[in-house]
Amino acid sequence: MSSSQTSPQPPAINYVAGFLLVGLAWGLTTPFIRRAAKDHNPPAHPLLARDDVKASWIKSKLFGAFFAVVDLLRNPRYAVPLLINLTGSVWFFLLIGQAG
């Protein structure tokens, strides 16, 4: 069985539509992500007020960054557009993989 069978390629319009959807996912969600991050007021965390955390620059920066990320991801105004944006990135890599 040495017959060389190639799978049929989808029409080019499918790729164009896919890339347009990816562009929409990226372009339409970015302003919402920016606004949610800019307007975000994180609550105070008691762990950041502890003396041992205040005394260590590394601990204060690491815990501060961790709580900032967690607080943003808990905010649906930020998390939902981010999820759509990241889904667009996955679509993009899938499209690139199929096109090659």
- Residue pair 33/78 in contact (Cβ under 8 Å)? The answer is yes
Give SS3 for 97.
helix
Backbone angles phi, psi at 89, to 5 degrees: -65, -40
pLDDT in tens, 4-51: 566 677 778 888 899 999 999 999 999 999 999 999 888 889 988 999
CA 93 to chain centre: 14
* Mean pLDDT across 90-95: 92
Question: How many CB atoms neighbour CB 78 within 10 A?
Answer: 20
pLDDT in tens, 38-63: 998 888 899 889 999 999 999 999 99
**Amino acid of residue 52:** D
